[in-house]
Structure 1
């Protein structure tokens, strides 16, 4: 698996359901993250990720190893369509990404970083001045990756999703 070339591209309509199921698998397995019974609306959003990705300027991006789905993320060229709680959607000239998920069989191969870098490159190309993301304590691996990539904690972007603290980050471009 590790030697196969990874392809990153926009998702096809026929892949959206599988991407939603991957996101549910990944997020429901996070230690300390609310389960399906605790946040059913969140998991319904994951299952219907194609609807989120149909917002203006949004793209559902996949990473494939051969024909196998290795990971996915939703990129928002305009943060106002990002759909988070808190103040992030009021930022100007900002892009963002959400719901980065890597299939368990493809972890520790740079897939998450590749997807994040793809989003950052699109934001730069669109001449955005920053990229905004959110993470939780349950997402320790992603949190560390984002900080190594230069994302800075931004407490002004924090919010509560139900009872779950969600932490904001920004990458100045």
Structure 2
């Protein structure tokens, strides 16, 4: 099988990447926010904070950040639903111009490898029900829906959960 994402490099974010990571994340989530004044946009843009409090990874092609994911290790304040023996990831984001090019799949594979390397037994994540493109990535990677973990961080925002055993 050919490489589904030719020329793509997935690596830990560097300080020089943080502004681009913030902008890619905001752009990727734009259709799911209420606009620039949505309080969540500031969290999406704050890649420096995610890099300090979790592990920030990027997908890069030709020197340009085209995707990112936040890996919330046990103990990270970015964790929401992960059990003690599970990894969790957040804010999987692919630049709108790089969608359907294997970027999300590549980032998810790196996340799974990272948690396996740490000896964790599973992975959990939350997603908006409307994020069907992301759900297709998770299903391809072997995640299953975990409705018993669905939750709402604020009124009107309902999150669905996915889990995978490693």
2:28 aligns to what? 26
Structure 1 residues 80 and 68: alpha-carbon distance in aligned structure 2, compared to 1, 3 A threshold: closer
Does 1:169 pair with 2:162?
Answer: yes
User: Taking structure 1 as the reference length, what is the TM-score of the superposition?
Assistant: 0.86
CA distance in 1 between counterparts of 2:164 and 2:18 reads 28
Deviations, residues 43-83 of structure 1 (Å, cap 9, x unaligned) = 1111112212312xx21100111111111111122265334
In structure 2, stretches of 5+ residues that fail to align are none
CA distance in 2 between counterparts of 1:16 and 1:3 reads 22
Q: CA RMSD of the aligned region, Å?
A: 1.9
**SS in structure 2 opposite 1:171?**
strand
CA distance in 2 between counterparts of 1:53 and 1:159 reads 25
2:78 aligns to what? 82
Residues 118-157 of structure 1 mapped to structure 2, 5 A cutoff: 118-157=110-149
- Count of equivalent residues: 162
1:50 aligns to what? 48
Does 1:115 pair with 2:107?
Answer: yes
Runs of 4+ in 1 over 4 A off after TM superposition: none
**SS in structure 1 opposite 2:130?**
helix
2:58 aligns to what? 62
> In the alignment, is the contact (CA less than 8 A) between 1:24 and 1:46 conserved in 2?
yes
**SS in structure 2 opposite 1:53?**
helix
1:73 aligns to what? 69
**SS in structure 2 opposite 1:35?**
coil
CA distance in 1 between counterparts of 2:127 and 2:16 reads 28
**SS in structure 2 opposite 1:24?**
helix
